[in-house]
Amino acid sequence: MRNPLQDYVLALADDALIAAQRMGEWIARAPQIEEDVALGNIGLDLLGQARSLLTYAGTLADPVRTEDDLAYWRDEREFRNVHLVERSWASAFGEHDFAVAMARLLVLSTYQHELYGALLASTDETVAAVAAKAVKEVAYHHEHAALWVVRLGDGTPVSHERMQAALGSEWRHVDELFDGSYVDAALLADRVAVDPATLRPAFDRRAGEVLAQATLTVPDVRPAVGGGRRGVHTEQMGYLLAEMQHLTRSHPGATW
Amino acid sequence: MSRDWPLWEVFVRSRRGLSHVHVGSLHAADAAMALQNARDLYTRRQEGVSLWVVPAASITASSPDEKDAFFDPAGDKIYRHPTFYDIPEGVEHL
């Protein structure tokens, strides 16, 4: 039988874990070595959040599972992350489009900042403690993404066009973040969890402020079909997991 | 593109009451980016509570060629150190 709290914590954990794994692809691929380090730091912040949340989710399982069990030994259908974080960085402009990375980081960090800010008041001590640490980290992620989105949006005609195109591809996955149908009603009633739908107005306002400053427009795009919270993922999720999990699965129990 | 970004020198103050100390340099398009990059490159391990970034081009440095003329004359002026002087008896607060 599934545990609603475990499901909720896993959804938060998997968003952070899969975002961290994708972010790692930027190390040695960013436009500057300084940006390699910045994105590496952001990825490590997300990984730290994922580890705390996965460890907690593992203690709620019966029998108890470790963070590594959950990260490396679940299959695709058991992951609860949204599609926003699992997709590749590719666009019409290349395999690793930096504008896509900054658009996605802006969406993710703005959402996570509202989420963790609300979870500070969670009646679950562990969730509230993770949120207290994470909220400061994602505030910086938001600042970093906003700086780049403004710089590129309000830059040259080419950078403006590419930034707007990148926003269009990422904005199709915004609705899924705020679909609260996966959150158990009892968790909301007990104020353990937060209904993400209630975070949407603040997200729209804060993201809108950045885009206005960047002379960009909020994309008017058809939302993509989601399903990540139910374990239904895009084709790219399989490739991501193969890379993330193959070492552990090829050499079970290996340590270094 | 990246080669056009100017160089910035980074100064970190490790604690309140201490002065900012030069820790290294980095590339950035402008001051705001330089400050963010400095945060990510030089304060990853809680090294500081305050950061300065300065355009490297704004620093006027003494020339190594003039080292002798600049610094050697101070070498034999031991009377410039307070320890050169004997403290007279009965003088307090020195």
Contact at CB, A147 and B36, closer than 8 angstroms: yes
Confidence at residue B2, expressed as pLDDT on a 0 to 100 scale: 47
Closest listed residue to residue A54, CA positions, set A98, A112, A11: A11
Confidence class for position B3, pLDDT limits 50, 70, 90: low
- At B24-67, the pLDDT tens digits run 999 999 999 999 999 999 998 888 899 999 999 999 998 888 88
> Is the minimum CB–CB distance between A159 and chain B shorter than 8 Å?
no
Q: What angle do CA A204, A205, A211 make, to 5 degrees?
A: 85
Cross-chain CB nearest to A34 (options B26, B32, B44): B26
At B63 the three-state DSSP class reads: coil
Fold of A4-221+229-247: Ferritin (1.20.1260)
Residues in chain A, pLDDT under 70: 1
At residue B67, the pLDDT reads 85
DSSP string computed for A12-60: HHHHHHHHHHHHGGGTTTSSSHHHHHHHHHHHHHHHHHHHHHHHHHHHT
- What are the residue ranges spanned by the domains of chain B? 2-61
Question: What is the model's pLDDT at position B1?
Answer: 47
Whole-complex ipTM: 0.73
CA distance A195 to A181: 9
pLDDT above 90: residue B92: no
pTM for this prediction: 0.89
Instruction: List the single residue in B with minimal CA-CA distance to A30.
Output: B2
Residue A99 and residue A165 in contact, taking contact as beta carbons nearer than 8 Å: yes
Contact residues, chain B, for A31 at CB < 8 Å: 1-2
Give the burial class of A137: count Cβ atoms within 10 A of its Cβ; 0-12 exposed, 13-18 middle, 19 or more buried: buried
So where are chain A's domains? 4-221+229-247
> Rounded to whole angstroms, how far apart are CA atoms A183 and A194?
8
CATH code of the domain occupying B2-61: 3.10.20.520
Mean pLDDT taken over chain B: 89
Identify which of A31, A33, A144 has the shortest CB distance to residue B36: A144
